Amino acid sequence: RADILDKRARPVGPLHGIPLAVKDIISTKVMPTTCGSPIYRDHVVGRDAACVAQLVKAGAIVIGKSVTTEFAGGHAGKTHNPHNLRHTPAGSSSGSAAAVADFMAPVGYGTQTAGSVIRPGAFNGVVAYKGTYGWADMTGVKTYAKSLDTLGFFAREANDLALIRAAYGHAPADPPARGVAPRIGLVRTPWWDEADPYNRKNIEEAARTLRAAGARVREWVAPDSWTGLVPAQNRIMTKEATQSYAKERDRFSHLFSPTMKQVMLDGDAVSRRQYADAKKRKRTAVAQLADAWDKFDLLLTPAAKGEAPSGLGNTGDPLFNRFWTLLGTPCIALPFNSGPFGLPLSVQLVGRHGSDDQLVAWARWIEDRLA
């Protein structure tokens, strides 16, 4: 593929010759797609997923499949955090995030159903983007929870996000004019006290730095009712997972990890009424969030509780990602400082539904000021 591209008289697209790591729940034509499960060991789909075909058309070269946790769930894979091999790289898009962090690939595909793009980006110290729900064709991506699954990717800097979006035909938003700064809402969220103290200080330092750079930073207080969004997201996720994996469960449940078996049981326990209530909570919160966009261009909030935890059996807590995934907002993790163990910390930027390109433009502005 690289030799063929080298012979072209001109670039075929914005990603001409760029190596791409593909999360192993995303189908590729000739490479196995195992979904991190022995059920699909050596399974070759025979065609590229729509998102892979899109970047290949733009000139990217698929260099390999990256490790995913089992079915993009909570059972950890074999990837280590390149900043400290004794610490988790998070999940489920662990391999793609670690590959970009370790300079194996400049771009990697991931997916997020709870916190599987933003949290690995934060733990591995790379830029991570989770798009607005429904922004990309998910054909060829193994489904976990249909109403939550969202495509994302990892890169080394915010400028790269604009290039990848361009490969999808999106015209990158112009960088803010000189002297123009964003209106930023600092969202501590109802779970602020769950974040490690050093991470809370880091978010506040980022807010001060951006305010000093000219941004208008004010606090936006999420409604008290948002405390119900985390269990709502989990109910929707587990219930839909029982539907997505009914075939595998029926024939190969003995090959499920204990973690996956528990997900199935949790989903079974969600009643129709509870599922409907979770969906209602989502609709209410989306309407409440609309109030913020009259005041702010983007929101600033934690990307994770803190540094990557030690040990490889636990991928970390997606607490600060679940509710944004439920609301379908575009999110970006930007590295900023390090924690007490020398591991990366990040901030999370959240944009209005469908404002992905503008959020990328503001991320470029913010990245420059936080550097």
Q: Which of 71-80, 99-108, 172-181, 242-251 bottoms out in mean pLDDT, i.e. has the lowest?
A: 172-181
Does residue 23 register a pLDDT over 90?
yes
- Looking at residue 94, its pLDDT comes to 98
Using pLDDT thresholds of 50, 70 and 90, give the confidence band for residue 170.
Answer: confident
What average pLDDT does this structure show over 315-333?
A: 99
Q: To the nearest whole number, what is the mean pLDDT of the chain? A: 96
Residues belonging to the active site:
23, 92, 116
Determine phi and psi for 108, rounding to 5 degrees: -145, 140
CA distance 90 to 313: 10
Contact in structure between 203 and 192 (CB atoms under 8 Å): no
Report, as an integer, the average pLDDT of 202-229: 98
d(CA 113, CA 108): 17
Residue type, 349: L
Question: Residues with Cβ < 8 Å from 178, sequence gap 6 or more?
Answer: none
Give mean pLDDT, residues 245-266: 98
Region 18-40 average pLDDT: 98
Q: What integer pLDDT is reported at residue 8 of this predicted model?
A: 78
- Cβ(96)–Cβ(62) below 8 Å: no
Q: What is the mean pLDDT of residues 265-279?
A: 99
Q: What is the pLDDT of residue 9?
A: 66
- Answer yes or no: are the C-beta atoms of 300 and 192 closer than 8 Å: no
Residue 296 sits at φ, ψ, to 5 deg, of -135, 155
Q: How far is CA 308 from the centre of its chain?
A: 16
Q: Which residue ranges form the domains of the chain, and what is each CATH number? A: 2-171+179-224+283-370 (3.90.1300.10)
Sequence-separated (6 or more) residues with CB below 8 Å from residue 260 = 70, 71, 73, 75, 245
User: If you search the block for the tokens 């995303």, which residue do you land on?
Assistant: 26
Please, which residues bridge with residue 76 across strands? none
Return the pLDDT at 98. Answer: 99
> In which band, very low, low, confident or very high, does the pLDDT at 77 lie, cut at 50, 70 and 90?
very high
How far the first Cα of the chain sits from its last, in Å, is 36
Provide the token pair at 181.
């700064």
Judged on CB neighbours under 10 Å (0-12, 13-18, 19+), 30 is: exposed
List Cβ neighbours of 248 (8 Å cut-off, separation of 6 or more): 37, 39, 256
Q: Which of 190, 124, 153 lies closest to 15, judged by CA?
A: 153
Segment 123-154, tens digit of pLDDT: 999 999 999 999 999 999 999 999 999 999 99
User: Nearest-CA neighbor of 90 among 308, 306, 263?
Assistant: 308
pLDDT surpasses 70 at 191: yes
Average pLDDT over residues 241-260: 98
Q: What percent of the chain has pLDDT over 70?
A: 99
Nearest alpha-carbon partner for 289 in 220, 193, 363, 190: 220
**Which residues sit opposite 360 in a β-bridge?**
none
Rounded mean pLDDT, 170-195: 88
Ranges of H-type helices in 245-354: 246-252, 258-268, 272-290, 319-327
Q: What average pLDDT score do residues 64-89 get?
A: 97
pTM over 0.75: yes
Contacts of 247 (CB under 8 A, 6+ apart): none
What integer is the mean pLDDT of 239-261? 98
E strands in 117-176: 127-130, 150-155
pLDDT at 10: 78
The pairing of strands 107-112 and 127-130 is: unpaired
What would the mean pLDDT of 50-66 be, rounded to a whole number? Answer: 97
